[in-house]
Chain A
């Protein structure tokens, strides 16, 4: 995602006060989530930019909202962090009131409620994914504008445009956990290869009844494709 700052629009040489230029790069990220039998696999790249400078090359865009519910953030860093913090609080409160684990759909609804109400002010594309005892693994996507829909596989961010073809042709229903992990890692790698705003490392997480397993694939360990 990006960090936008409204300071100097001039180039570096003219205005030395701030190297951090403000120009909006829309949804620079690649995020992805896949449902499988028994849970979900989520993944993201790790790049946060301010203009052409990479402010954080090891960002964690997979944010825990609850014990078995995560969200993948794309868009404005400030907006998505603020929304995620607010939803984490609301969901935690709700879960204590209910005295049971919250539904993934509830978390997604909270995101949608906030993203739609403040759609003019916010720039946030969020994928909510997790596991709950009622419906198992679920992926809900809440893109810019505040729509919410459930999808078996969802991609988001600026890098997603480059991998729609790959995802559509390679996704099969009923994949196993390992197949989903490989599928996600490869899709993210391809997107990071082509999208300038995505890069760094690939962060993956598997959410299931057993809990959350997180892993990081470093730059030199990414899957290799034939380079033209």
Chain B
């Protein structure tokens, strides 16, 4: 049974030997008081909802590296196939690479079958790959799309378990987003209502979770059409600096106007200094 795929399946199981070594090294480094470099994570609020004609996927756009925002406008909704998209939470590199690998394999599979790929196929491929790596690939995904069997939505966890549901949320802001969904989700919503619901769920994650922020991206997938709305909502606009000199914004000008601080007394002491030697040394700046 030939599998046409880029990714070569390992025979004999994956070797996790280096994981033990890495854990030991981590412990040793921590003992010395240093910390190993943090992987860039996407913190994240991602969610998806099935509505009357298809699915709506939503994501925030903040990527964090420890406590610092590494990317203020990263794209978390990844292309899998023309009718299937996938939001990714967790380690940014893992979600990026995993979705690209499965997208590539799915395209080969689709050419082999001569049909538009199914969401369930992408789900199977993702879960089998993640299970093989026993959770070491930190990718938590929301997979959604429309195929010949209708609109479908799956949540995929890093250890390889999946759930097929009408509405799902993942990431650090998932609890905030789920609260919005549990309140306002109805089956068979219209497109505008579904988009508003997903927008509000992501906004809940952005404003109540430190790991999520910036803008809201949306992806509306219906039979035969995909609307990739990036950004759908610029929820956090950067302010404009007040200082302007001759119309141009003066960066970092923290000067206060004369008279801001009142002067009570003024005493001038002259320092009598003798100039002993004066020499000029020119530096070659060519």
B-contacting residues of A (Cβ < 8 Å)? 3-7, 16-20, 48, 50, 53, 55-56, 58-59, 76-79, 81-82, 85, 121
Asked if B161 lies at the interface with its beta carbon under 8 angstroms from chain A, I say yes
Query: In the complex, how many angstroms separate the beta carbon of A118 from the nearest chain B beta carbon?
Result: 9
Q: Which of B120-145 contact A (CB under 8 A)?
A: 124, 127-128, 130-131, 134-136, 138, 140
- B157 close to A3 (CB less than 8 A): yes
Contact with A along B270-286 (1 / 0, CB 8 A): 00000000000000000
Residues of A within 8 A of B131 (CB): 78, 81-82
Q: How far is the CA of A48 from the CA of B174 in the complex (A)?
A: 15
- B41 close to A6 (CB less than 8 A): no
- B172 close to A19 (CB less than 8 A): yes
Asked if B88 lies at the interface with its beta carbon under 8 angstroms from chain A, I say no
Residues of A within 8 A of B157 (CB): 3, 5, 50, 55, 77-78
- A4 close to B135 (CB less than 8 A): yes
Query: In the complex, how many angstroms separate the beta carbon of B93 from the nearest chain A beta carbon?
Result: 14
Q: How far is the CA of A79 from the CA of B159 in the complex (A)?
A: 8
* With A3-B157, A78-B157 as contacts: A19 and B175 at CB distance below 8 Å: yes
- B161 close to A19 (CB less than 8 A): no
In this complex, how many residues of chain B approach chain A with their Cβ under 8 Å: the count is: 31
Q: Which of A5, A16, A53, A85 contacts B135 (CB 8 A)?
A: A5
- B172 close to A18 (CB less than 8 A): yes
A-contacting residues of B (Cβ < 8 Å)? 41, 43, 64, 90, 124, 127-128, 130-131, 134-136, 138, 140, 155, 157-163, 165, 171-175, 209-211
24 contacts between A and B (CB under 8 A): A5-B135, A5-B159, A6-B136, A7-B90, A16-B210, A16-B211, A17-B41, A17-B64, A18-B90, A18-B172, A19-B173, A48-B161, A55-B155, A55-B163, A59-B163, A76-B161, A77-B159, A77-B161, A78-B127, A78-B135, A78-B159, A78-B161, A79-B159, A82-B128
Q: Which of B136, B159, B211 contacts A3 (CB 8 A)?
A: B159
Q: How far is the CA of A59 from the CA of B211 in the complex (A)?
A: 28
Residues of B within 8 A of A77 (CB): 157, 159, 161
- A19 close to B174 (CB less than 8 A): yes
Residues of B within 8 A of A48 (CB): 161, 163
Query: In the complex, how many angstroms separate the beta carbon of A171 from the nearest chain B beta carbon?
Result: 32
Closest A residue by C-beta to B159 = A78
Residues of A within 8 A of B135 (CB): 4-6, 78
Query: In the complex, how many angstroms separate the beta carbon of B261 from the nearest chain A beta carbon?
Result: 41
- B163 close to A16 (CB less than 8 A): no
* With A16-B209, A53-B175 as contacts: A82 and B160 at CB distance below 8 Å: yes
Query: In the complex, how many angstroms separate the beta carbon of A79 from the nearest chain B beta carbon?
Result: 8
Residues of A within 8 A of B160 (CB): 78, 81-82
Residues of A within 8 A of B43 (CB): 16-17
Query: In the complex, how many angstroms separate the beta carbon of B5 from the nearest chain A beta carbon?
Result: 17
* Most chain A Cβ neighbours within 10 Å, of B135, B159, B175: B159
Q: How far is the CA of A190 from the CA of B282 in the complex (A)?
A: 91
Residues of B within 8 A of A18 (CB): 41, 90, 171-172, 211
Residues of A within 8 A of B124 (CB): 85
Q: How far is the CA of A50 from the CA of B156 in the complex (A)?
A: 13
